[in-house]
Amino acid sequence: MKIAVLPGDGIGPEIVAQAVKVLDVLKKDGMQIELEAAPIGGAGFDAAGDPLPEATLELARAADAVLLGAVGGPQYDRLPREKRPERGLLRIRKELNLFANLRPALLYPELAAASTLKPEVVSGLDIMIVRELTGDVYFGQPRGIEVRHGERVGFNTMLYAESEVRRVAHVAFGIAMKRGRKLCSVEKANVLECSELWKEVVIEVAQEYPEVELSHMYVDNAAMQLVRNPKQFDVIVTGNIFGDILSDEASMLSGSIGMLPSASLDQNDKGMYEPIHGSAPDIAGRDLANPLATILSVAMMYRYTFADMATADRIENAVKKVIAQGDRTGDIWTEGCRKVSCSRMGDAVVAAM
């Protein structure tokens, strides 16, 4: 198994280093794992003048899976759009055709108090958001800023081909079949033609999954329902921009955005794995970040790309154990728990394995 390791910017290198410790344990236990690192995002720009250097893309293409930290930082915000760290991330998703982004929102019972919502609202929470990742207003053409009638206008295009909706719908239905068999498709079909088509195609695909209970929700209502009664959801499938927003919202249900991993898969389950949080420049380099989302991303890698459920369980159980024994980075710390650094948290997971 060849894994491309792309630490990126900000806290990226710190959190990825903890995930690599976990991979080293697996290696010591006899697994064939080959790791190769390369720069992406601001680090890519610094190294090669490009947020997705050609060599990094080649490495990612050749690898069986990609582990990514995070990209972005204030020092890059003034670069031309094409050179910004976020472009590197968007391009690698597009180039590798990683159209299905799985973002679980799961609450560890011990972290109920870390959520800003009432414990009874979030306890037992287990949602999977399937976000389409290579289409929508993120990539639609035309886009730009230009002068019209003497003033500047900015514009983007929300666009989905039915084949794009169909393939992500199949992924979402497939996941729903393995879980609670409930799928909620989220769009804005009361206003947007793009959403109208989305909904039609999801309904067509549903014919092939009669056991799954399909519902539809407008995105504004979904945003509200996620904080009102999140446990009504099992699997959510939605487009790129709505999924971007709702997955950040859902992450806070689970106490901290620092807990949530993600998988971005192509048609053959090759994937890129990354925490859903960003590069947190404010705490970068201080050994304060929560590495658990990145470590849990490695678990997802074993589950989805390597189809090795036992190893995935092993990593997830180690994280559960560490949480249960009271180790907490600052973002999930509550009274009575032991505050640990990023690297100590990584060591604790290794010990629990």
- Catalytic site positions: 138, 188, 220, 244, 248
22 within 8 A of 298, measured Cβ to Cβ: yes
Question: Minimum distance between the CB of residue 280 and Mg ion, rounded to whole angstroms?
Answer: 13
Interface residues toward Mg ion, by CB under 5 A = 244
Question: Minimum distance between the CB of residue 154 and ligand IPM, rounded to whole angstroms?
Answer: 17
Residue nearest to ligand IPM (CB): 86
Smaller CB separation from Mg ion, 112 or 168: 168
| 213 interacts with ligand IPM by CB under 6 A | no
Question: Minimum distance between the CB of residue 86 and ligand IPM, rounded to whole angstroms?
Answer: 4
Segment (H or E) for 35: strand 34-37
Q: What letter represents residue 287's amino acid?
A: D
Smaller CB separation from ligand IPM, 82 or 200: 82
Q: Is the peptide bond before 142 cis (omega within 30 degrees of 0)?
A: yes
**Among 84-92, 163-171, 194-202, 223-231, which window interacts with ligand IPM (CB under 6 A)?**
84-92
Question: Minimum distance between the CB of residue 134 and Mg ion, rounded to whole angstroms?
Answer: 15
| 86 interacts with ligand IPM by CB under 6 A | yes
| 132 interacts with ligand IPM by CB under 6 A | no
Which burial class, exposed, middle or buried, applies to 335 when counting CB atoms under 10 A from its CB (0-12, 13-18, 19+)?
exposed
Smaller CB separation from ligand IPM, 86 or 110: 86
Residues 230-249 that bind ligand IPM (CB under 6 A): 244
Segment (H or E) for 205: helix 193-206
Residue nearest to Mg ion (CB): 244
Q: Which two tokens stand for residue 261?
A: 């991993």
Smaller CB separation from ligand IPM, 209 or 273: 273
Residue 303: closest CA among 175, 126, 164? 175
Residue 245: strand, helix, or coil? helix
Alpha carbons 129 and 11: distance in angstroms, whole number: 25
Residue 346: strand, helix, or coil? helix
Smaller CB separation from ligand IPM, 164 or 327: 164
Alpha carbons 198 and 185: distance in angstroms, whole number: 9
Alpha carbons 283 and 344: distance in angstroms, whole number: 16
The interface partner of residue 308, options being Mg ion, ligand IPM, none and the CB cut-off 5 to 8 Å by kind, is none
What DSSP string describes 70-92? Answer: E---GGGTTS-GGGSHHHHHHHH
Please identify which residue in 52, 89, 168, 312 interacts with ligand IPM, judged by CB under 6 A.
Answer: 89
Question: Minimum distance between the CB of residue 244 and ligand IPM, rounded to whole angstroms?
Answer: 5
The interface partner of residue 132, options being Mg ion, ligand IPM, none and the CB cut-off 5 to 8 Å by kind, is none
Lookup result for tokens 């230009």: 146
The interface partner of residue 86, options being Mg ion, ligand IPM, none and the CB cut-off 5 to 8 Å by kind, is ligand IPM
Q: What letter represents residue 9's amino acid?
A: D
Smaller CB separation from ligand IPM, 24 or 46: 46
Q: Phi and psi (nearest 5°) for 182?
A: -125, 130
Tell me which residues touch ligand IPM (CB under 6 A).
86, 89-90, 244
